[in-house]
Amino acid sequence: MRRHTLGKLLQHVHVNGPLSRAALAERMGVNRSTILALTSQLAAAGLVREEPPTDTTGAGRPSFIVLPQSQRVYVLAFDVAVDRLVAARVGLGGPVLDRRETPRTRAGVDLDTVVGNLAALGEELLAAAPPGAVCVGIGASYCGMIRPGDGMVRYGPEMGWVDQAFGAELERALGIGLPVAVGNEAHMGALAEAARGAGTGSQNLIYLHGDVGVGGGVLVGGKLLGGDGGYGCEVGHMVVNPVDGRPCLCGSQGCLEAETGEHALLEAAGRADGRTGRQAVRAVVDDAAAGDPAASAAVARIGDWLGIGVANLINLFNPGVVIFGGMLRDVYQVAEPQVASRIKRHAMPVSRDRARLRLSGLADDATLIGAADLGFAALIADPLRSS
């Protein structure tokens, strides 16, 4: 019980940043003396610190501020996207303290290479950490379907992975005695946007993540939709164009990913110059914004399919907010008219009136921050066990 309450307090400070004891007491529904007892324990464990109030002008007794020990307590967070590997030290409270990024060459998409590269980045980060700082967990987000519990990649079509023991291998390669918690990149993005980004306050949220493919994370009643095995939310493989749709890497045809992903955009724009990846996508989007006809037509085409997909999701989930992340963040900024038009045409009025459309608030860090939160989960479940 005490452990649960300590964790709840730490979670408040982790997600919301500095909070006064009074604010914590109100949010947790307990009195100030309980808060004092809890913060003392967390402070003694080096997880939070307290500062005298700066604002003493208000009515009533000024209340001490409780802050996360962001420099001292951190996790390693990894983000495996189709065209880049990111590793970071992320502090309690969410700040990115240090960061390494490397493009993932097409030559090295096998498990050993990816794990080796990530472990090397992780070791650099650990070596660069200041004395006294403590790594309390490891989280990773991956662009594929992840088995809950052990971080097995069941299916990652962009990298050709089927049943690869990614979590276990990364844990072994890092060898620092901490487990690696792995989640799907778009699931992680959804949770991060709900906690700190464009979806705060919403219990029913859809996060769409454009990498090379398209992933989705859906919160229903405040919880990530897992389904029976944890493999739900495969928004990118919703078929929207079954009759003459583009072939999809998954073997199907006309999937939302096939119609709105990077390849579809570049091909529609006639960019056969071999450039791929995020820079190539941004170039098309920028050209469209500048009025280039071919780029504009390509973005409009992708926006049209994206709008059909979003309309379907609005009908199915009646969300409060739909968030565009990753490459779709760039695309949506130019394709907004097509998306809006399709939603108007295909989504039920009572549901569409309620759905706000938003750009990712954490931008390219959404999936990384989600992975970091996964790494912090064990500490927050039981704050006095680790650290």
Q: Site residues (CB under 8 A) for a copy of itself?
A: 145, 154-155, 202-204, 218, 220-221, 223, 225-235, 237-244, 250-253, 255, 308, 311-312, 315-320, 345-351, 354-355
Return d(Cα 149, Cα 344) in angstroms, integer.
40
Minimum distance from CB of 257 to a copy of itself (Å)? 11
Minimum distance from CB of 142 to a copy of itself (Å)? 14
CB-hemisphere CA count at 13 Å for 128? 15
- Where helices occur in the chain by DSSP H, the ranges are 2-16, 21-28, 32-44, 111-128, 166-174, 185-196, 256-260, 262-268, 278-289, 293-317, 327-346, 349-352, 366-381
Cβ proximity to a copy of itself: between 58 and 229 the closer is 229
Minimum distance from CB of 184 to a copy of itself (Å)? 12
Cβ proximity to a copy of itself: between 305 and 376 the closer is 305
Minimum distance from CB of 231 to a copy of itself (Å)? 4
3-state SS string for 277-322: CHHHHHHHHHHHHCCCHHHHHHHHHHHHHHHHHHHHHHHHHCCCEE
Minimum distance from CB of 248 to a copy of itself (Å)? 9
Return d(Cα 372, Cα 383) in angstroms, integer.
16
- CA distances to 280, 281, 331, 347 from 295, rounded to whole Å, are 12, 10, 11, 27
Cβ proximity to a copy of itself: between 171 and 304 the closer is 304
Cβ proximity to a copy of itself: between 237 and 278 the closer is 237
Return d(Cα 289, Cα 333) in angstroms, integer.
9
Cβ proximity to a copy of itself: between 85 and 308 the closer is 308
Minimum distance from CB of 153 to a copy of itself (Å)? 11
Minimum distance from CB of 82 to a copy of itself (Å)? 18
Minimum distance from CB of 75 to a copy of itself (Å)? 27
Cβ proximity to a copy of itself: between 71 and 341 the closer is 341
Cβ proximity to a copy of itself: between 177 and 251 the closer is 251
Cβ proximity to a copy of itself: between 238 and 266 the closer is 238
Q: Which residues of 204-242 are buried (b: 16+ CB within 10 A; e: fewer)?
A: bbbbbbbbbbbbbbbbbeeebbeeeebebbbbbbbebee
Return d(Cα 366, Cα 374) in angstroms, integer.
12
Asked whether 66 and 50 are in contact (CB, 8 A), the reply is yes
Asked whether 118 and 86 are in contact (CB, 8 A), the reply is no
Burial class, 333, CB count within 10 angstroms (exposed 0-12 / middle 13-18 / buried 19+): middle
Minimum distance from CB of 51 to a copy of itself (Å)? 38
How would you classify the pairing of strands 152-156 and 145-147?
antiparallel
Cβ proximity to a copy of itself: between 106 and 344 the closer is 344
